[in-house]
């Protein structure tokens, strides 16, 4: 039986553990120095921008499509295994259009901006088996009267995209994986990955153990899904994957009544701001994108968060009367000098896999990442995905 050690239990690590738990002949142990669903997972809004994204081909699109499709079966699976009712908004995503938004109407690669680009995207999605709709201002006003801004010229509606609660999802993945025999060691830090000496006949190095605060633990496969913690681990193996933090802030608003039609509550997005219904007449709003200017410390900028709230109010003026229940922030792991995410074998190593640096798309791409890692282990292949998916994703 092969032992797989997964380092990190955010949504990506938990998804990998659950996916691998369904493969016969594998023993899986997950290590995290803190409780699950912390760090970037705990800060995400879980808006899954698949069909509505501007990715139209290649692995960047394939991963999005794989994940969105997998979520349709994964959520019922997890609910059946755990008895948990997972918040999963199946009412789609509504992207607002206006020449005043930034970007105005995102152009397709190689094309021009504006409605024509969206019409072209609709044609492409239709050929791929996905559905998008362009709404004019009259239809938008009729279906989503909460959107009240004279500068909004219409919207694109994606009924097949979704939104979910990242923390609830991660906890369900952990419980389901445990049900399938996975061992989770929370509060156990991974200190390093010792290397075996490579002979002149070997093309790559193999690591057979990890060093933890509970001692050395043997492993046949090592999956590094530690987000920002991936950098020091890869540095010890002389193959540094530089991942930098990008802060994101969000807030939860309570309105006391639903926005617009209580029976139709899609996630609304515009100008890189999301308005996310989360039940009980509450809404998540976010998120900021804040880079470090001096080292890795990024103090939350209250003014930026307030500007996000104000932008949400310009889309849905009723939110001006909402009470702020809480604010929160988290650090997203963004690869330096390479596309996000980083998925594949660590160069020079035969059994060390990377599943990290998802930046703003960790929740969106977790199922596809888990499938990719599973296939690498099953096939013992050498391929990997290093994708540029940063432009749009869950926030």
Stated pTM of the model = 0.93
Distance in angstroms (rounded) separating the CA atoms of residues 11 and 199: 37
Long-range contact set of residues 139-146: C-beta below 8 Å, sequence gap at least 24: 143/261, 143/264, 144/94, 144/260, 144/261, 144/264, 144/266, 144/268, 145/260, 145/261, 146/259, 146/260, 146/316, 146/318
Q: For residue 351, what pLDDT is reported?
A: 95
As a whole number, the mean pLDDT across the chain is 91
**Are 11 and 365 in contact, with CB atoms under 8 Å apart?**
no
Domains of the chain: 1-89+161-242+336-395 (3.50.50.60)
Higher pLDDT, residue 392 or 315:
315
pLDDT-derived band at 117 (thresholds 50, 70, 90) equals confident
Q: For residue 309, what pLDDT is reported?
A: 98
pLDDT-derived band at 288 (thresholds 50, 70, 90) equals very high
Q: What are the tens digits of pLDDT across the range 178-235?
A: 999 999 999 999 999 987 755 444 667 899 999 999 999 999 999 999 999 999 999 9
Q: For residue 389, what pLDDT is reported?
A: 39
Cα dist from 314 to 151, 319, 375, whole Å: 10, 9, 46
């Amino acid at each position: 039986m092969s032992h797989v050690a997964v380092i990190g239990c955010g949504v990506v690590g938990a998804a990998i553990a659950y996916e691998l738990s369904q493969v016969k002949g594998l023993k899986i142990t997950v290590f995290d120095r803190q409780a699950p669903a912390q760090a970037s997972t705990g800060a995400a809004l879980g808006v899954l921008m698949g069909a509505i994204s501007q990715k139209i081909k290649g692995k960047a699109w394939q991963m999005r499509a794989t994940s969105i499709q997998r979520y349709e079966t994964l959520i019922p699976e997890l609910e059946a295994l755990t008895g948990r009712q997972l918040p999963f908004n199946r009412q789609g995503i509504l992207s607002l259009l206006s020449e005043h938004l930034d970007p105005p109407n995102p152009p397709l690669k190689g094309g021009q901006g504006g409605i024509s680009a969206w019409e072209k995207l609709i044609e492409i999605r239709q050929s791929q088996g996905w559905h998008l709709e362009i709404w004019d201002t009259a239809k938008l006003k009729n279906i989503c009267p909460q959107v009240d801004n004279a500068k909004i010229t219409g919207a694109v509606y994606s009924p097949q995209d979704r939104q979910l609660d990242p923390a609830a999802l991660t906890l369900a993945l952990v419980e389901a994986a445990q049900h399938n025999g996975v061992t989770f060691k929370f509060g156990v830090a991974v200190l390093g990955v010792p290397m075996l000496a490579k002979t002149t006949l070997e093309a790559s190095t193999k690591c057979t153990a990890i060093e933890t605060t509970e001692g050395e633990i043997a492993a046949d496969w090592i999956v590094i899904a530690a987000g920002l913690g991936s950098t020091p681990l890869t540095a010890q193996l002389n193959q540094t994957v530089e991942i930098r933090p990008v802060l994101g802030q969000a807030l939860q608003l309570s309105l006391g009544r639903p926005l617009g039609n209580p029976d139709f509550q899609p996630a609304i997005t515009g100008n890189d701001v999301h308005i996310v219904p989360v039940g009980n007449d509450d809404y998540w709003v976010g998120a900021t994108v804040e880079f470090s200017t001096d080292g890795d410390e990024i103090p939350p900028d209250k003014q930026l968060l307030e500007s996000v709230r104000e932008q949400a109010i310009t889309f849905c003026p009723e939110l001006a009367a909402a009470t702020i229940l809480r604010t929160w922030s988290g650090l997203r792991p963004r690869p330096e000098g390479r596309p996000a995410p980083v998925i594949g074998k660590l160069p020079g190593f035969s059994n060390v896999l990377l599943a990290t640096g998802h930046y703003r798309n960790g929740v969106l791409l977790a199922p596809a990442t888990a499938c990719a890692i599973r296939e690498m282990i099953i096939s013992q292949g050498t391929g990997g995905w290093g994708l540029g998916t940063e432009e749009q994703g869950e926030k």
